[in-house]
Amino acid sequence: MDESIWKPRKLWSDSRTLYDTDEVYEAAFKMDWKVAADDEETPALAVYTDEEVALVAQVMWTHNRMVLMTYDWYSMYFSGSTLPSNVCRIFKPAFTRFIDDIGVVRKGSQSHSMTAFQQCFLQVIAKELRETGAQADATDAAEANSLDRMEFMQCLVRVADLACLKTQLAPDIAAAVGMLLQETVAPVILKAFKFALSRPQVYTNIFRRLNCYTRDCTTTIEEHMPTIKGLFDRYCMSENDGADSGLRASMSFDEFNIFIRDFHLLDHLFSARECTLLREPFARSDDGRCMQPPICMVDHWCTHWCGSQL
């Protein structure tokens, strides 16, 4: 594989290898957690001691892959065939669905009602709402009413505090976060998230090893590379993806979505929601944060063709 068509991945991926490594995931987590824990405007962790915060960080890291999967799954939540305005953020309907799915709402309890848990969402986005103001355009206003990955971490801590710590189900906040993730979130995600344990062959490194980095797949792509490059050039045409029009290096989600729909690849085996999951877990932005990147290369395009046996 080191001399195959997949070799360029070593140049543009954060891991500088053919696979995502634990070191990259850990570096990304540390960046995310620093932002989540140091937010002075919405101090979800300010009521806890430094030692408690450190323990919460350990718990979050232990369950990091599942937290990323949870964030991915609910950032893709939408109704019907209409895609969310930003598939890299969790909007209030998706957060409400998340709370409903994990079953922490207690019927007849005012302190553990859906409204009470929605307050966790509102408390975290309060800063952005204030900064955005009434004069913001529709895109900025929508983003201010949604969670990025770091804000979702804050919400998880708040939900754990409300659902597990205040009910005395857990002795401390770290145990509460662990209980929330392991006993309530995990069963839901592992059942609903089709790219998880139920279908491990289509999740990141495992999918690449089983389906991309094989002789048959590599040979087939090499044979059709002119067509693939032609398709890539045809759909990768936006002016805001950081490259000259003749040297497009990445494809945005909107461009990828147009390609998927033009070729009628959405069906009962490959939904619009699953389409949004065909992307890397994270990439690094200019300010050092780990953000969701545009689609890169063609390895992700194989997922539907392999999964639906087209």
Ordered alpha helix ranges (H), 78-214: 92-102, 114-132, 138-144, 149-160, 173-179, 186-192, 204-207
CA-to-CA distance for 241 and 232, rounded, in angstroms? 13
pLDDT value of position 222: 93
State whether the Cα torsion 156-80-84-142 is positive or negative: negative
pLDDT value of position 249: 67
Question: Which residues are CB-contacts of 254 (< 8 A; sequence separation ≥ 6)?
Answer: 238
pLDDT value of position 149: 92
Token duo for residue 77: 């939540």
pLDDT value of position 105: 95
Is the pLDDT at 288 greater than 60? The verdict is no
Q: What is the pTM of this model?
A: 0.76
Average pLDDT over residues 281-305: 39
Instruction: Judge contact between 222 and 5, C-beta under 8 A.
Output: yes
Average pLDDT over residues 28-53: 82
Q: Please, what's the largest Cα pairwise distance for the chain? A: 63
pLDDT value of position 306: 43
Average pLDDT over residues 50-72: 92
Token duo for residue 39: 């937010």
Task: Report the percent of the chain where pLDDT is more than 70.
Answer: 68
The residue among 70 and 272 whose pLDDT is bigger is 70
Instruction: Judge contact between 55 and 174, C-beta under 8 A.
Output: yes
pLDDT value of position 224: 94
Residue 219 confidence class, pLDDT cut points 50, 70, 90: very high
Question: Which residues are CB-contacts of 269 (< 8 A; sequence separation ≥ 6)?
Answer: 304, 307, 308
pLDDT value of position 208: 85
Helices 50-62 and 64-75: crossing angle, nearest 10°? 70
**How does pLDDT run across 201-218, given as a tens digit for each residue?**
446 788 788 888 999 999
Residue 263 confidence class, pLDDT cut points 50, 70, 90: confident
**How does pLDDT run across 240-254, given as a tens digit for each residue?**
544 444 445 677 777
Instruction: Judge contact between 177 and 59, C-beta under 8 A.
Output: yes
- Type of residue at 58: Q
Is the pLDDT at 39 greater than 80? The verdict is no
Is the pLDDT at 289 greater than 50? The verdict is no
Token duo for residue 14: 């954060």
Average pLDDT over residues 55-78: 89
CA-to-CA distance for 109 and 112, rounded, in angstroms? 5
